[in-house]
Amino acid sequence: MINNRKTLISPSILSADFARLGEEVRAVDAAGADMIHIDVMDGHFVPNITIGPDVLAALKPHSQKPFDVHLMISPVDQYIDAFIDAGADILTIHPEAGPHFHRTIQAIKKRGIKAGVVLNPGTPADIVDYVMDMVDMILVMSVNPGFGGQSFIPNQLDKISRLRDKIEATGRDIILEVDGGVNALTAPQCIAAGANALVAGSAVFKGAGNYAENIAVLRGAQQRSTA
Ligand code: DX5
Ligand code: ZN
């Protein structure tokens, strides 16, 4: 499949220097990030603990770009308002994170921000079917959530293609994002399968000072510098 969509890049600050988070957010913003991806983990839904609403609020003044907040917490419902109040522009939730997935999406939309669904590698594409009229983003996990620096699971490319077809069938402008193991090799595969947004942690934050080049490579725009 060939597509001409602009690929949005959402650097995951999970791979940033946590002692200098504000500075790192400013750096990826200046380097061309389209969104800032914030991985929220609770040590229960996933085996790692990261960032809460207070850290999100502290980072918010450091970038005007949309904060793409990936909630890996369960139960999730009682924390929705805190993350929206802290500055989330897009909240993505896993269907497995609560008993009433549709209601959780409704609650996010009611607050006037964008809502997204995140699919684990073992979660089928069809789980989005009855929320397609509400969601603004579908996020395909190409690793099992919990840690940065894992290897891309290739069979998720088929899921990306199926989801692209579902999105086209709605006629709605739903972002199709991929998260996990996205690098210079796998990014073009995701884009060819129909993704129009890529999360990348280790591939963006590697090599201090090279963030702009790292982002351009993922977006496939590296040829611009030689044009
Ligand atoms: C994993 C997170 C990812 C992670 C990606 O649970 O959701 O956002 O930071 O890291 P890389 O790009 O290193 O695979
Ligand atoms: Zn993530």
- The number of the ligand 1 atom at minimal distance from the alpha carbon of 200 is 12
Give nearest CA residue, ligand 1 atom 7: 145
The predicted-structure confidence for 35-66, as pLDDT tens digits, reads as follows 999 999 999 999 999 999 999 999 999 999 99
Give the pLDDT score at 227.
Answer: 39
- What pLDDT sits at residue 222? 53
- 121: cis peptide before it, omega within 30°? no
Question: Of all atoms in ligand 1, which is nearest to the CA of residue 41?
Answer: 6
- Note the Cα 223 to chain centre separation in Å: 25
Instruction: Answer yes or no: are the C-beta atoms of 24 and 17 closer than 8 Å.
Output: yes
| Ligand 1 centroid – CA 32 distance (Å) | 19
Q: Determine if ligand 1 sits within 6 Å of the CB of residue 14.
A: yes
Find out whether the beta carbon of 11 lies less than 6 Å from any atom of ligand 1: no
- Active-site position among 39, 42, 68, 136: 39
Regarding the beta carbon of 180 and ligand 1, being less than 6 Å apart is answered yes
CA distances from 83 to 3, 86, 181 (A): 34, 5, 26
Look up the CATH superfamily of 8-225.
Answer: Aldolase class I (3.20.20.70)
Domain residue ranges in the chain? 8-225
Would you state the torsion angle of the CA atoms of residues 19, 27, 90, 127, taken in this order, to the nearest 10 degrees? -80
Confidence (pLDDT) at 5? 75
The predicted pLDDT at position 208 comes to 79
Residue nearest to atom 6 of ligand 1 (CA): 145
198 contacts: CB under 8 Å, gap ≥ 6: 7, 8, 9, 10, 177, 178, 182, 187, 190, 191, 218, 219
Choose, from 29, 68, 136, 179, the residue flagged as catalytic. Answer: 179
* Catalytic status, residue 34: no
**Which residue numbers in the chain have pLDDT < 50?**
1-2, 223-227
What is the pLDDT, as a whole number, of residue 77? 98
Buried b or exposed e, range 117-136, using 16+ CB within 10 angstroms: bbbbeebebebbeebbeebb
CB-hemisphere CA count at 13 Å for 145? 31
Active site residue 17: no
